[in-house]
């Protein structure tokens, strides 16, 4: 018959590495003090990073938007140059057509028969049609050019807004970093030093519980007979075991490591 998996067994399985027999030279109480101290340090680091919030991501998004808008403006300018060239080419073609019309009309004055006259008339008509076509293409290009200029103006305005937002967000981020960077470095160094006092298997278990907790808490105090992490009531006998410091006790519900006021007071004194 399959063994029933309870919340308690899940919690105990999560911290299986820290349920092994402790080494003789390091007491459970010392381990709990080191783990709780590490938790306090890491929680301070978490708070610093929360203060920074989403600013780094917001700055990155704004930088990407600015680059995107600048690329769009460059594309519009390239298309504008192509439209300007198209208009110039069509105007030049119209000039050539006008010259040909003058040429054919002059030739009509000296034709010897109707056949030659008709042939020249058709050439004149064709060149007039070419002029009309050029005029149409120029008008279309002018409409496109006007639309592009309006878009460039709109995108430029949007770009200016985004650049202002970016400067403001960067300034805010730099201020926060300036205020917190040094403190974070000190705390990271403390966290690293404190970690050296804890065996790797306990660190692994601590980090695993921390990663599975939304608030990053792996070690919590017993507060008003309840777990400081999930706030579920802790049985009286289990509280007695926690105060005895004979073994590391975890919450039956959330799997966090539980410490009593003695451990907390010891850390605060340090």
CATH number (domain holding residue 205) = 1.10.287.1490
Which residue range is the domain that position 144 belongs to?
55-192
Residue 12 phi/psi, 5-degree rounding, is -70, -35
* Structural domain includes residue 37: no
Q: Which of 136, 166, 192 is the last residue of a domain?
A: 192
Residues 185 and 70 in one domain: yes
Q: Which of 225, 218, 199, 236 is closest to 36 using CA atoms?
A: 218
Residue 43 lies in a domain: no
Assess whether 175 and 102 both reside in one domain.
yes
Give yes or no: residues 176 and 72 share one domain.
yes
Judge if 262 and 237 occupy the same domain: yes
Distance between CA 107 and CA 105 in Å, rounded?
5
Q: Are 239 and 233 in contact (CB under 8 A)?
A: no
Can you give the pTM of this predicted structure? 0.51
User: CA-CA distance, 259 to 265, in Å (whole number)?
Assistant: 11
| Final residue belonging to a domain, choices 159, 175, 192 | 192
Residue 65's Cβ-count burial label (10 Å; 0-12, 13-18, 19+) is: middle
| Residues contacting residue 196 through CB under 8 Å, at least 6 positions apart | none
pLDDT tens, per residue, the chain with 270 residues: 444 444 445 444 444 444 444 343 458 888 889 899 999 989 988 888 887 777 888 899 999 999 999 999 999 999 999 999 999 999 999 999 999 999 999 998 888 888 989 999 999 999 999 999 999 999 999 999 999 899 999 999 999 999 999 999 888 888 888 878 888 888 888 888 888 878 888 889 899 998 888 889 999 999 888 999 899 999 999 999 998 988 888 999 898 999 989 888 888 877
């Amino acid at each position: 018959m399959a063994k029933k998996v309870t919340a308690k067994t899940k919690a105990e399985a999560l911290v299986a590495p820290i349920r092994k027999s402790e080494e003789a030279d390091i007491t459970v109480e010392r381990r709990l003090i080191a783990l709780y101290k590490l938790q306090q340090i890491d929680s301070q680091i978490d708070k610093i990073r929360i203060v920074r919030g989403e600013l780094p991501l917001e700055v990155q998004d704004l930088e990407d938007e600015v680059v995107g808008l600048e690329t769009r403006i460059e594309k519009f300018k390239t298309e504008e140059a192509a439209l300007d060239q198209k208009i110039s080419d069509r105007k030049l073609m119209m000039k050539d057509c006008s010259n040909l019309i003058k040429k054919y009309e002059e030739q009509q004055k000296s034709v010897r028969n109707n056949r030659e006259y008709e042939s020249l008339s058709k050439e004149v008509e064709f060149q007039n049609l070419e002029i009309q076509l050029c005029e149409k293409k120029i008008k279309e290009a002018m409409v496109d050019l006007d639309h592009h200029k309006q878009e460039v103006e709109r995108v430029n305005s949007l770009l200016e807004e985004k650049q202002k937002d970016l400067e403001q967000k960067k300034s805010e981020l730099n201020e926060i970093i300036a205020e917190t960077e040094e403190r974070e470095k000190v705390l990271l160094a403390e966290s690293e030093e404190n970690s050296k006092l804890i065996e790797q298997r306990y660190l692994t278990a601590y980090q695993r519980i921390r990663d599975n907790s939304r608030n990053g808490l792996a070690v919590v105090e017993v507060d008003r007979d309840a777990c400081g992490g999930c706030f579920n009531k802790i049985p009286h006998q289990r509280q007695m075991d926690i105060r005895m410091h004979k073994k590391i006790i975890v919450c039956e519900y959330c799997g966090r490591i539980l410490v009593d006021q003695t451990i907390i007071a010891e850390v605060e004194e340090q």
